[in-house]
């Protein structure tokens, strides 16, 4: 099974960025708004480089529909944060429970996402009965656990973290019931058992503080070099990537990934987040964005870096505040599911446009228009517009502007504008006409509509906003050539009406 998800969009995945851009242009020529209207996701951008972009998740988070919508759309790969661990899957010896893990793998299947299974053999979240076993019984218990869990998820899990966190920070092997019973041989034994249970899954060893060059990554390098030399089934090495702005960026990350790749192994960033001492401030968030960008750049520079997984995508569901009191703000999206500067940094590092996420809102509004003016040659223009929030998060309407372009034809260049009706109340709607500094075909002025206040919930529409404008000398227009006008009298998506969020184009094509 490939870890690269098939694109769910009209344009094929796995194409060079230039081709994707051409595809977006072709879409816009076909009357569908260009990339700004349906921004490519982090995963789409990564897939254009032959990589995936994924997120961890956990069962208690999935009923949060706004959360789940972004999880299902922005990411091409999912890792269960807890639900495939030993304490969940085999809480009592021989009694297996896959209910929670199945929810995650079903979610992934429903959203065309691959799954990284996490994790088969780990010293933590290990039920007490394992540690209580006599040493002579640990190997059989470990092998049985792997056989049952990897066997259950055969065909569902593309890659397994077979062994998690085998090292201490100084590069010595970590004591665990497995190490204590079998020495470091437990690692090869676990990999062989996993290969037998699911011959198609990619098998990984995964650890933290191994991102850069150092004693711990040297120990990992020595271990996997030996495993490869001995023909033990190992496909990749996972670098968790739990970073912190106060500790600096790991030195030599790209060089480090490269040396593992040069052993003929895949490498992956498996649990990326970048925490900071709270409160967050602009400087720390900017440093954080740099770290995220550096990680993406390191992965892009190494062909066998197959993808990046963030350890959940939002501060709302981060493990950090529980584990490191006083620290947090580690993720790409804030607690209100709004993309942070780090999100923009990842997007741009992947070759995408900056969506203005640093404090702004996700670009997920579209404009709809109907022609409510049967007289195109009289002295008034009467656009009827609606905005629809196609995204997963509410949009603060005070940050939104809409532009409808037209030609003033002859006469004076001063205008009157009106809102005739809106279910939001016309008192909240602002409107003005502005002249374009460089007129285009069908456009030398635009009507700009804004909102004094209000919030548009995910999936909601503003309802119809009936607008009207005229010149102050009441001279006639010829609307037939106006850029934003169409003749359809019922509502349709309006790619020639632009929507801006926080000053950034979020929908439509400017003249
Ligand atoms: O600690 C961060 C990650 C480091 N690498 C391995 C990962 O497996 C690990 O994930 C975290 C989960 O994100 C946390 O959610 O592992 C923690 C435990 O080591 C998880 O925290 C635990 C809490 O400590 C428990 O109190 C809680 O019952 O999550 C459990 C389930 O919500």
Closest ligand 1 atom to residue 56 Cα is 13
Q: Do β-strands 52-57 and 305-310 pair in parallel, antiparallel, or remain unpaired?
A: parallel
- The residue whose CA has the least distance to atom 21 of ligand 1 is 319
Looking up tokens 């194409």 gives 15
321 Cβ contact partners less than 8 Å away, ≥ 6 residues apart: 327, 328
Overall average pLDDT of the 305-309 stretch: 98
Confidence label for 354 from pLDDT (cuts 50, 70 and 90): low
Tokens of 285: 């968030």
- Could you tell me the distance, in angstroms and rounded to a whole number, from the CA of residue 205 to the centre of ligand 1? 18
CA of 244 to the centre of ligand 1 (A): 17
pLDDT tens string 452-472? 889 998 888 999 999 999 999
**Which pair of structure tokens corresponds to residue 487?**
């003749």
Q: Pick the more confident residue, 310 or 488.
A: 310
Q: Could you give phi then psi for residue 330, rounded to 5 degrees? A: -90, -10
Indicate the pLDDT class of residue 362, thresholds 50, 70 and 90.
Answer: very low
**Residue 223: Cβ within 10 Å count:** 22
Closest C-alpha residue for ligand 1 atom 29: 82
DSSP letter at 479 equals G
Count of other CB atoms within 10 angstroms of residue 19:
13
| Shortest-distance Cα residue to atom 9 of ligand 1 | 81
Which residue from 264, 273, 367, 285 is spatially nearest to 321, judged by alpha carbons?
273
d(CA 172, CA 435): 70
Q: How far apart are CA 190 and CA 228, in angstroms?
A: 14
Query: Which residue among 59, 82, 162, 270 is best mutated to probe the pocket of ligand 1, counting the most ligand atoms within 8 A of its Cβ?
Result: 82
Please tell me the distance from the alpha carbon of residue 296 to that of residue 40, in angstroms, as a whole number: 17
386 CA from centroid of ligand 1 (Å): 44
Q: Give the model's confidence band at 135: pLDDT under 50 very low, under 70 low, under 90 confident, else very high.
A: very high
**Which of these is catalytic: 271, 355, 361, 479?**
271
Spatial separation of the C-alpha atoms in residues 220 and 79, rounded to whole Å = 22
Alpha-helical regions (H) of 324-363:
341-349
- Please identify, by atom number, the ligand 1 atom nearest to the C-alpha of residue 118: 8
Give the sign of the dihedral formed by CA 459, CA 465, CA 471, CA 475: positive
Question: Helix, strand, coil % (nearest 5) of the chain?
Answer: 30, 25, 40
For 33-47, letters b (16+ CB in 10 Å) and e give bbbbbbbbbbbbbbb
- Tell me whether residue 165 is one of the annotated catalytic residues: yes
What's the CA gap between 307 and 323, in Å, rounded? 26
Check: pTM over 0.85? Answer yes or no: no
User: What is the band of 197 on the pLDDT scale with cuts at 50, 70, 90?
Assistant: very high
Contact at 8 Å (CB) between 368 and 496? no
487 Cα distance to chain centroid: 38
DSSP per residue, 393-462:
S-EEGGGEEEEEEE---SS-S-EEEEEEE-TT-GGGEEEEEEEEEEEETTEEEEEEEEESS-EE-TT-B-
Give the binding-site residues of ligand 1, using a 6 Å CB cut-off.
81-82, 124-125, 164, 208, 240, 271, 319, 323
The 10s digit of each residue's pLDDT in 5-58 is: 433 333 333 333 333 333 333 333 333 343 343 458 999 999 999 999 999 999
- Domains of the chain in sequence order: 42-349 (3.20.20.80), 360-507 (2.60.40.710)
3-class secondary-structure state, position 295: helix
**b/e per residue 263-277 (b: at least 16 CB within 10 A):** bebbbbbbbbbbbbe
What is the rounded CA–CA span in Å between residue 397 and residue 276? 31
Give the per-residue pLDDT at 504: 81
Per-residue pLDDT of 205-261, as tens digits, reads: 999 999 999 999 999 999 999 999 999 999 999 999 999 999 999 999 999 999 999
pLDDT at 406 over 80: yes
24 Cα: distance to centroid of ligand 1 (angstroms)? 40
From the CB of residue 446, how many other CB atoms can be counted at a distance below 10 Å?
A: 22
What is the structure's pLDDT at 355? 56
Token pair recorded at residue 78:
């999912």
Grade residue 485 by pLDDT with cuts at 50, 70 and 90.
very high
**Could you give the C-alpha distances from 214 to 45, 163, 186, 255, in angstroms and in order?**
31, 20, 24, 11
Q: Alpha-carbon distance 51 to 46, whole Å?
A: 5
pLDDT at 507: 82
State percent of the chain over pLDDT 90: 80
CB atoms within 10 A of CB 461: 15
Give the pLDDT confidence score for residue 39 in this predicted structure: 59
User: Which residue among 74, 165, 211, 479 is the active-site one?
Assistant: 165
Residue 105 has pLDDT above 50, yes or no: yes
Which pair of structure tokens corresponds to residue 232? 């033990």
pLDDT at 393: 79
Average pLDDT along the chain = 90
Nearest CA to ligand 1 atom 31: 82
Nearest to 169 by CA among 206, 205, 210: 210
Phi, psi for residue 195 in degrees, rounded to 5: -65, -40
Strand ranges, E, within 9-139: 52-57, 77-80, 114-121
Q: Whose CA is nearest to atom 1 of ligand 1?
A: 319
**Is residue 338 within 8 Å of residue 393, measured between CB atoms?**
yes
For residue 226, what are the CA distances in angstroms to 81, 170, 174? Answer: 29, 19, 18
Residue-wise DSSP of 367-385: EEEEE--S-TTSS-B-EEE
- Band of residue 495 on the pLDDT scale cut at 50, 70, 90: confident
Distance (Å, whole) CA 118 – CA 207: 12
Give the pLDDT of residue 459: 83
CB-CB contact of 494 with 488 (8 Å):
no
Strands 52-57 and 415-421: unpaired
Could you tell me the distance, in angstroms and rounded to a whole number, from the CA of residue 238 to the centre of ligand 1? 17
Distance, CA of 434 to CA of 432 (rounded, Å): 7
Has residue 347 got a pLDDT over 80?
Answer: yes
């Amino acid at each position: 099974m490939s870890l690269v998800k098939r694109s769910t969009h009209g344009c094929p995945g796995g194409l060079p960025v230039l081709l994707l851009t051409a595809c977006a242009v072709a879409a816009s020529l076909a009357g569908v708004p260009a990339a700004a209207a349906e921004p490519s996701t982090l995963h789409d951008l990564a897939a254009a480089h032959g990589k995936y972009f994924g997120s961890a998740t956990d069962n208690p988070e999935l009923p949060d529909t706004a959360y789940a919508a972004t999880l299902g759309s922005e990411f091409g790969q999912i890792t269960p944060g807890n639900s495939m661990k030993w304490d969940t899957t085999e809480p009592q010896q021989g009694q297996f429970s896959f209910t929670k893990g199945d929810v995650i793998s079903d979610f992934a299947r429903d959203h065309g996402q691959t799954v990284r299974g996490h994790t088969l053999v780990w010293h933590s979240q290990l039920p007490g009965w394992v540690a209580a076993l006599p040493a002579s019984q640990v190997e059989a218990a470990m092998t049985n656990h792997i056989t049952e869990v990897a066997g259950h998820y055969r065909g569902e899990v593309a890659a397994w973290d077979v062994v998690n966190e085998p090292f201490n920070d100084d590069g010595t092997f970590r004591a665990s019931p497995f190490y204590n019973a079998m020495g470091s041989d437990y690692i090869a034994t676990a990999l062989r058992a996993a290969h037998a249970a699911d011959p198609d899954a990619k098998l990984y060893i995964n650890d933290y503080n191994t991102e850069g060059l150092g004693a711990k990554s040297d120990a990992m390098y020595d271990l996997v070099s030996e495993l490869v030399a001995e023909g033990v089934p190992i496909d990749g090495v996972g670098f968790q990537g739990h970073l912190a702005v106060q500790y600096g960026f790991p030195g030599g990350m790209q060089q480090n990934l490269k040396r593992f790749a040069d052993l003929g192994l895949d490498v992956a960033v498996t649990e990326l987040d970048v925490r900071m001492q709270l409160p967050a401030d602009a400087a720390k968030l900017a440093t954080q964005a740099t770290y995220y960008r550096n990680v993406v750049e390191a992965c892009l520079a190494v062909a066998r870096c197959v993808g990046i997984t963030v350890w959940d995508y939002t501060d709302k569901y981060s493990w950090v505040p529980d584990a490191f009191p006083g620290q947090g703000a580690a993720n790409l999206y804030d607690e209100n599911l709004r993309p942070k500067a780090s999100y923009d940094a990842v997007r741009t590092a992947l070759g995408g446009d900056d969506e203005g996420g640093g404090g702004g809102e996700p670009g997920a509004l579209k404009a709809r228009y109907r022609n409510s003016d049967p007289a195109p040659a009289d002295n008034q223009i009467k656009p009827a517009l609606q905005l629809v929030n196609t995204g997963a998060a509410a949009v603060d309407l005070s940050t939104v502007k809409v532009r409808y372009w037209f030609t003033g034809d002859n006469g004076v260049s001063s205008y009157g504008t009106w809102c005739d009706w809106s279910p939001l109340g016309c008192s909240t709607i602002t409107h003005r006409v502005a002249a374009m500094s460089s007129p285009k075909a069908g456009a030398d002025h635009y009507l700009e509509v804004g909102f004094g206040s209000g919030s548009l919930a995910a999936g909601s529409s503003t309802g119809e906003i009936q607008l009207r404008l005229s010149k102050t000398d009441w001279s006639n227009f010829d609307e037939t050539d106006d850029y934003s006008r169409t003749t359809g009298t019922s509502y349709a998506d309006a790619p020639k009406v632009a929507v801006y969020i926080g000053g950034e184009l979020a929908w439509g094509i400017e003249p």
